[in-house]
Chain A
Amino acid sequence: MVAAGRHSRPAAELRVGIVSVQGAVQPHAAAIARAGAAWAQVRHPEDLDDLDALILPGGESTTISKGLERVGLYEALEAFARSGRPVLGTCAGAILMAREVEGVPVRSLGLIDVTAVRNAYGTQVDSFATVAQGELEGLRAIFIRAPRLKRPGPDVEVLARVDGWPVFVRQENALATTFHPELTPDGRVHAALLELAKKRQQ
């Protein structure tokens, strides 16, 4: 376990929380560290204090959802997002951020006006890697038992697509990807999260 670096934090350094109930926490932590920010695990509502941004990582959405419910994190995450601080959800995290979820009975935060369809591409044997189309040129995207985002509302900005489907979306301070930016060295998705946090600080 990498230490979360609670000590020796320079005043200007951004601090990103990663929801650590279940899933791929370490790759996000490494990506945040590469981008020059500090990170901390979030397992309880009080862990959200003093954070500039938040990541809901990939993992199993049913497992993460039950874990959030048990420790009372749903309400705290909703309040965090309402405060205007940026939130990034990847894969299972994107499911949890959607307005509506199909295919599995999980409670979602409704931060982005889309419908997320769990396991829309199939099982692990249908997982794939490709280059997404959008303003981030040459963005290599890894999809693992990925959800699909349907029916983006008028306030949703589609930042990247694969086969016409949105794979990277933004609504105000909420960002979501159905692929795994933490598993590639690209860094631009995490940079976008930190950019939103910086803007809010200024």
Chain B
Amino acid sequence: MSDQTGNGNGGAGDATAKSFELKVGLAEMLKGGVIMDVVNPDQAKIAEDSGACAVMALERVPSDIRRDGGVARMCQVEIIESIQRTVSIPVMAKVRIGHYLEAQVLDALGVDFIDESEVLTPADEEHHVDKFPFRSPFVCGARDLGEALRRISEGAAMIRTKGEAGSGNIVEAVRHLRTVFGQMRSLQALLPEEVPARAKELRAPLDLVQRVAETGKLPVPNFAAGGIATPADAALCRSLGAEAVFVGSGIFKSGDPAVLARAIVRATTHWDEPEELVAACRGLGKPMEGIEMETLAESQRLANRGW
């Protein structure tokens, strides 16, 4: 990053050498796992000891961002560094949508994955970060196939459906998973000459839409996030096609985080085995409080951020 010119294009200097296959490769390694939001090294340690495949460092978990309001930004550098020193699993961190300077800071810190996230307050209401030039891979949220493919066309190496972060309510995650997978299935039913019109409808690049029409899946791993609060929620997302799950406020806002964290890890691995799920659902403390969607004004819905 030493030759960074700051030309407003989000470029990260010589980092272009870091090829896309390495970025997607790490996303492949995280499949079948649980990525947990943490705000300090102690929580990161609990997450790792509970079997998390990665942690997401942030200043406040989404439910606190929702409660306290204000501008939510990238996590403090010292917190990220102390978490990196504490755990051996990958450390992710969030940047505001379009804030490529925050992304450059995380890239320079050697963060393993950057989440350009609607959970933080957007920095740019028109442009997402150009993600290709960075060394760190990026994950981005999506509510539908078009949004997912737009993020991939900008260089995202992983997609997570957005759900509604900090709500403790799985309904939006389910909606987004069903939308993305339903749109992929319907693409596969099209004749080749019908695909361009669909690409226009989806507002997504034709080459990526054609690829999905051929393969029936996204060209990068597809995880779920937003509102997962119980082992059964995690298993439901897996059952709907998510290859791994992000759990934000759900774990450390519950009565017994270590127990719930282990249970969600277990349910994510054994999502299609009822006996294992029963065992995972046993002996859990009090889950986080949930929010009904009807009580959330459109302006308070984090999933509406990003385009």
Contact = CB atoms under 8 A, between A and B. Distances in A.
Contacts of B89: 60, 62-63
Contacts of A104: 88
A67 interface: yes
A23 B136 contact: no
Contacts, number: 113
B198 interface: no
Interface residues of B, number: 38
Interface string A41-84: 00100000000000000111011001100100000000000000
B21 A63 contact: no
Interface in A163-184: 180, 183
A24 interface: yes
Interface in A1-51: 20-27, 43
A122 interface: yes
B137 A124 contact: yes
B263 to A, nearest CB: 11
Contacts of B53: 22, 59-60, 63
B31 interface: yes
A145 interface: yes
Contacts of B54: 60
B284 interface: no
A26 B30 CA distance: 12
Nearest to B89: A60
B290 interface: no
Contacts of B113: 124
Interface residues of A, number: 36
B266 interface: yes
B112 A145 contact: yes
Contacts of A63: 33, 51-53, 89, 265
Given A70-B266, A123-B110, A22 B25 contact: no
Contacts of B84: 123
B197 interface: no
A103 B110 contact: no
Contact of A128 (B22, B29, B90): B22
B230 to A, nearest CB: 19
B269 interface: yes
Nearest to A69: B51
| Shortest Cβ-Cβ A-B pairs, 7 listed | A124-B112, A125-B135, A22-B32, A123-B110, A24-B28, A66-B51, A60-B53
22 contacts: A20-B269, A22-B33, A22-B53, A23-B31, A25-B31, A43-B269, A43-B270, A59-B29, A59-B32, A59-B33, A59-B53, A60-B30, A66-B50, A92-B29, A118-B88, A123-B91, A123-B111, A124-B112, A124-B135, A126-B110, A127-B18, A144-B22
